[in-house]
Chain A
């Protein structure tokens, strides 16, 4: 049975190239625990070219969290950097990699964004 986390990594692998990760060259290892079970993903990025595997290799940045929390990040419900500050997402190695990687997580569902008003305007474009 696949869940949102499996889908996230599968989609990332399918994309192959991710413009938001153009600045990244390096590897990230994700260790996501669920009860007694820990799943691992190994993501390598070369200037935006992404490959995903289940290899157990040392990475520039290792991330550990509960799978449930990571699922929240993938859905945009959990902010990755706040999770780091809380100690809910632990980072070993280069924080910079996480900082750049988390750009691909979506924003909170239902965010309004800037409201475009229609003010009465003297100014014209």
Chain B
């Protein structure tokens, strides 16, 4: 790992340590053992005869398991090391560590081995914001185990540390005095359990024991089964095969089984800090992965449906029918110092919920789930009109009611400066960003289809369709920037256009809200000099006041964004343009060994020759992981039609042939095949762009 930190995880339990396997966290330092958004170990340091160890190598065995090879001493010369130390660690409800020490000498050796342990029980939010604790700590030794505890009112968290070999247990850790024979070895198991009383689904002992080598995910499927059941990809481009394999494995690691999902899993937002349900991220990733792993979508729909808002609560920005933004389980959420129990402040997840439900049914034919979630889907559709239209003019607007800890920008571009006029000014609130109107349109059109096929409510279907048509007319009139030939980023409260050119235009194509007559102009902007970098579409066009090629939402290229833009281009028949975007993003993936980052710089491709990664603490990130999957879909032109899967390939010529085999769906399993024909700018073909 490039930051020198080793991260392993299992659901929302994860360990971040240095390359020795040690943890020495300060309040602001993001290392430790975390579970349910609480740090259960902030200190875990191994010494031999009072000496720290030196790392030789780290083997990432699986996403939940790693092995550290160490030698004593802090110098840089290891040649004389007569001892080796191996720490094999598997995370799950805490972690299990097998500590083995090998004596390579011809003489016996006497050792004092010490594992220091301590915990600050920090909330993830406290680690980010450096806040102080309000509860009481306790430390005691009981029955050969070290018990670290934290209590605040009824809130209790505890860490239990124990060993399989006889140890001297003190309030600071465990120590062992041993003699190891010549060429002998000594080993012990160290167990660290995270205890969360009262929270169902949180068990009190580590999941793995000695010799457990196979993944036992918190979900019904193992990694091997997961990869085995996904479609196979065959092609003549090694990098694409690597990227596909990487995406599948990362998606497996990102699976998260919330306490209510009965062992089923949905995609969490990112590793390791965002291993929780996010409405927007879980929905977008489920959409990207639908042709490959449709079960993720089903769990996302069920779990988000169960957590759907049911009342008006200003602190949580909750309304009836609203789909959650983010769920957290830590102390600050528990005591309502943060609103994440859950927090509802996002304006796109609710219409996207209906979009996912419909797309899921189109692929799988699972009308049973559509009927099961009828109440939630109707409530989501009602939210668009009853709670989101803050100005009463038929658009989705957002403005937080929780002004202290709520989110200002409730769209995917959620940084403070993401929504601006050409001259760089920021509009006031509420704001109506353009892509939200596209999602609302799509939700109504798809909701109408669901009302006909599953809810037997043609009246609702008629009403939704006429509302959608009216919204489309209104939108194409109010958001269209005449002198630019594209759609404005947003409207302000005065009804004026927030007139920047931004990648959001691609999402509008995806939603279908764009008048056919305007689509060609939009497409030419997306692939034009100001937005397209050669790798992909920038979040904000070059030349805008706030454009910055390394600005989070004001100039970088987001693989997730691009995958939906490619889908949008296909929807309006721009196959070659979609292939160009797929080629650029998949080329970029090659530079990251198949793991696309959240975002990379918006520099011209011919300038930098390689994609410059945006610095971020979160990798892999779910919707970046999903991007290559959606691009495979757009390149092959996969589209369910009735009980059939239509294949209409438009592959970049850099790809000789591409096969995706055993695509699951209402047709059973089907294969798709295509040959590269589209001329694109890429590593192997440096054609000049317009």
Contacts and interface: CB of A to CB of B under 8 A. Distances in A.
Interface of A: 19-20, 22-23, 76, 79, 81-82, 84-88, 90-96, 99-100, 102-108, 111-125
Interface in B406-448: 430
Contacts of A93: 200
A118 B307 CA distance: 31
B596 to A, nearest CB: 34
Contact of B311 (A100, A106, A118, A125): A106
Given A84-B199, A96-B260, A100-B306, A117 B336 contact: no
Contacts of A22: 375
Contacts, number: 133
Interface stretch (B152-160, B219-227, B232-240, B564-572): B152-160
A-B CB proximity, top 6 nearest: A107-B311, A122-B495, A85-B334, A103-B310, A119-B493, A86-B334
A99 B155 CA distance: 20
A112 B314 contact: yes
Contacts of A120: 493-495
B516 to A, nearest CB: 22
Contacts of A84: 198-199
A21 B401 CA distance: 28
A87 B372 CA distance: 31
A93 B198 CA distance: 10
Nearest to B342: A81
B154 A108 contact: no
Given A123-B394, A123-B495, A124-B393, A114 B387 contact: yes
A111 B314 contact: yes
A95 B260 contact: yes
A88 B154 contact: yes
B306 A82 contact: no
Interface in B522-539: none
A116 B390 CA distance: 5
A117 B430 contact: yes
Given A87-B156, A122-B478, A122-B495, A107 B312 contact: yes
A15 B302 CA distance: 27
6 contacts: A86-B155, A86-B334, A88-B153, A102-B310, A111-B312, A125-B470
A22 B372 CA distance: 10
B390 A114 contact: yes
Nearest to A21: B375
B313 interface: yes
Contacts of A124: 393, 474
B200 A92 contact: yes
B153 A86 contact: yes
Given A95-B260, A106-B311, A87 B391 contact: no
B298 to A, nearest CB: 15
Interface residue tally on B, bucketed by range: 35 or more
B198 A87 contact: yes
Interface string B312-333: 1111101100000000011001
Interface in B592-613: none
B494 A95 contact: no
Interface in B137-171: 153-156
A114 B390 CA distance: 7
Question: Which of A87, A90, A108 has the most B CB atoms < 10 Å from its CB?
Answer: A87
Contact of B262 (A19, A82, A96): A96
B100 interface: no
Nearest to A125: B394
Given A84-B198, A108-B314, A122-B496, 20 more contacts: A23-B372, A79-B316, A79-B336, A86-B154, A87-B154, A88-B153, A93-B200, A99-B260, A108-B313, A108-B315, A111-B313, A112-B314, A112-B401, A113-B319, A113-B401, A114-B390, A116-B392, A122-B478, A122-B494, A125-B392
B656 interface: no
A95 B391 contact: no
Contact of B401 (A88, A114, A119): A114
B84 interface: no
B341 A82 contact: yes
A23 B301 CA distance: 14
B197 interface: yes
Interface in B271-319: 306-307, 310-316, 318-319
A121 B154 contact: no
Nearest to A94: B200
A119 B200 contact: no
A86 B335 contact: yes
Interface in B190-219: 197-201
Contacts of A105: 311
A92 B202 CA distance: 12
Given A87-B156, A99-B307, A107-B313, A119 B341 contact: no
B338 to A, nearest CB: 10
B391 A117 contact: yes
A79 B341 contact: yes
Contacts of B682: none
A72 B524 CA distance: 58
Contacts of B316: 79
A117 B200 CA distance: 43
A95 B259 contact: yes
Given A118-B392, A121-B391, A85 B333 contact: yes
